[in-house]
């Protein structure tokens, strides 16, 4: 597997032409321009024959009038105009195009013919195409943002080590907005819609070699016919370097039918697809929440040496639920050795359970957590630590967050995951801990999936 220089123009172009740009507030063409003007530092060429000088930019009647070759062309016009614009882009020498426009294969036989014509022209001129029927590409590092969604409707997340590949534009927009709310960092994202040309295989390979990306999240509804074997080959190579988490739409016959009307996808038999994912060591997610719970952990934590999990809690019920879920996911929650149990017994009163989980009970203090965590971590008997801290007892303070983080950073070879439930003070603890780079979850089930993901990737990288 090699790097993909043919896709660089989508994420790192020196110049961008927007065909169908508009100065009208609320229009799709205006939203694309506004997003690019906000952070993109390269040259921007609005193309619309109705305008000459708007928004502080010179406007052009056509691509051919632009004095240089725009490296990336964003097309947001009526579908039947797209083939002609692609030909003009090819004659201009442009390397890549994002076709925002819908009305192609997803709309029926006539749309399919139009898409096939556009594809032939793109191949004739060697233009790589994302789309049609998509929102395009996003790069937090360079400011490339072809999403036609204003910032007040779709917030942009902070910069981080995650890349997202999505067949659905609406799904990607919602996830980006949610990631911004949760403070989850995204570096790059792409929605390829009908994937006339560039598809999930291409983007997986591109992000696989991208040093800015630590984790790849995928939502797809199906792999293009004839691309299944290549998808597995690429995925096997990528998962040796970094984790890949995938959520698939169209698992049922009705879901597959909906996928076909959505982006002309061939969803295929999910049982076969699931087997292929296992071959490729891709982590499959069954829910949107899982996708990001696992992604958050993988983005920030070192991969563990093994799958032995130690649990320190001040609440028996959540500790039991955590054990059940970890065992269900194939992880090991070993009973601590007699010598470790004896050391813990000497520190705490008889009511404290010490076998694993270590249940400090409801009157545990910050200092109790410090003693228990340090002793368990330094025992050499665990590869991963889960800290469950219910903050309702008044003896605990938010300073527990710094205490946990200090121990975690001192023993950085062992990943820490924290669970806290409730509002107000629990939220303050979450902010304190996540501010130090340690993921926090508000239910044991969610944390267990995150533990599963990092344990699965113990041999990644």
Q: How much is the pLDDT for 189?
A: 98
Q: How much is the pLDDT for 167?
A: 93
Helix or strand (DSSP H, E) at 338: helix 338-347
Q: What is the pTM of this model?
A: 0.90
Q: How much is the pLDDT for 265?
A: 44
Residues of the chain whose pLDDT is less than 70?
1-2, 250-270, 458-461
Helix or strand (DSSP H, E) at 341: helix 338-347
Q: How much is the pLDDT for 257?
A: 46
From CA 83, how far away is CA 274, in angstroms rounded? 37
Residue position matching structure tokens 């930019």: 57
Q: Which domains does the chain have, with CATH numbers?
A: 1-134 (3.40.50.720), 154-300 (3.40.50.261), 304-455 (3.40.50.261)
From CA 156, how far away is CA 307, in angstroms rounded? 35
Q: How much is the pLDDT for 275?
A: 85
In the sheet that 96-99 helps form, which strands lie side by side, from edge to edge? 43-47, 15-19, 72-75, 96-99, 128-130
Q: Backbone phi, then psi, for 215, in 5-degree steps?
A: -135, 140
- Going by C-alpha positions, the residue among 125, 137, 139 that lies closest to residue 166 is 137
Query: Per DSSP, which regions of 67-214 are E strands?
Result: 72-75, 96-99, 128-130, 136-139, 144-145, 162-166, 186-191
Q: How much is the pLDDT for 452?
A: 96
From CA 398, how far away is CA 426, in angstroms rounded? 8
Query: Per DSSP, which regions of 229-357 are E strands?
Result: 244-248, 283-285, 309-313
């Amino acid at each position: 597997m090699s790097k993909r220089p043919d896709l660089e123009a989508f994420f790192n172009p020196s110049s961008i032409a927007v065909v169908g740009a508009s100065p009208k507030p609320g229009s799709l063409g205006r939203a694309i321009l506004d997003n690019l003007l906000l952070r993109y530092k390269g040259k921007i060429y609005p193309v619309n024959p109705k305008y000459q000088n708007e928004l502080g930019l010179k406007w052009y009647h056509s691509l051919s009038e632009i004095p240089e070759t725009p490296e990336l062309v964003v097309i947001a016009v009526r579908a039947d105009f797209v083939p002609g614009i692609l030909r003009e882009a090819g004659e201009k020498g442009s390397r890549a195009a994002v076709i925002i426009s819908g009305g192609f294969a997803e709309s029926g036989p006539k749309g399919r013919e139009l898409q096939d014509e556009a594809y032939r022209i793109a191949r004739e001129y060697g233009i790589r195409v994302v789309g049609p029927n998509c929102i395009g590409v996003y790069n937090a590092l360079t400011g490339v943002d072809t999403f036609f969604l204003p910032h007040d409707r779709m917030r942009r997340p902070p910069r981080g080590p995650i890349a997202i590949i999505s067949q659905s534009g609406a799904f990607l927009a919602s996830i980006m907005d949610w990631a911004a709310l949760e403070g989850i960092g995204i570096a790059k994202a792409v929605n390829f819609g009908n994937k006339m040309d560039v598809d999930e295989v291409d983007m997986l390979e591109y992000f696989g070699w991208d040093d800015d990306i630590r984790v790849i999240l995928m939502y797809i509804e199906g792999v293009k016919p004839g691309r299944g074997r290549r998808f597995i080959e690429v995925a096997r190579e990528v998962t040796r370097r970094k984790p890949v988490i995938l959520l698939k739409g169209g698992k049922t016959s009705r879901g597959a039918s909906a996928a076909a009307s959505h982006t002309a996808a061939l969803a295929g038999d999910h049982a076969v697809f699931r087997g292929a994912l296992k071959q490729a060591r891709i982590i499959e997610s069954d829910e949107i929440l899982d996708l990001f719970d696992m992604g958050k952990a993988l983005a920030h934590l070192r991969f563990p040496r093994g799958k032995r999990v130690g649990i320190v809690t001040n609440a028996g019920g959540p500790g039991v639920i955590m054990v059940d879920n970890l065992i269900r996911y194939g992880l090991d929650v070993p009973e601590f050795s007699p010598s470790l149990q004896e050391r813990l017994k000497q520190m705490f009163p008889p009511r404290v359970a010490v076998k694993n989980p270590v249940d400090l009970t409801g009157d545990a203090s910050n200092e109790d957590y410090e003693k228990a965590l340090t002793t368990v971590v330094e025992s050499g008997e665990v590869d991963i630590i889960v800290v469950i801290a219910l903050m309702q007892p008044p003896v605990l303070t938010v300073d527990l967050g710094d205490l946990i983080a200090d121990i975690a950073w001192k023993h950085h070879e062992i990943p820490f995951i924290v669970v806290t439930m409730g509002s107000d003070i629990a939220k303050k603890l979450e902010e304190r801990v996540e501010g130090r780079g340690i993921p926090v979850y508000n239910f044991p089930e969610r944390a267990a999936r995150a533990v599963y993901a990092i344990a699965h990737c113990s041999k990644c990288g």
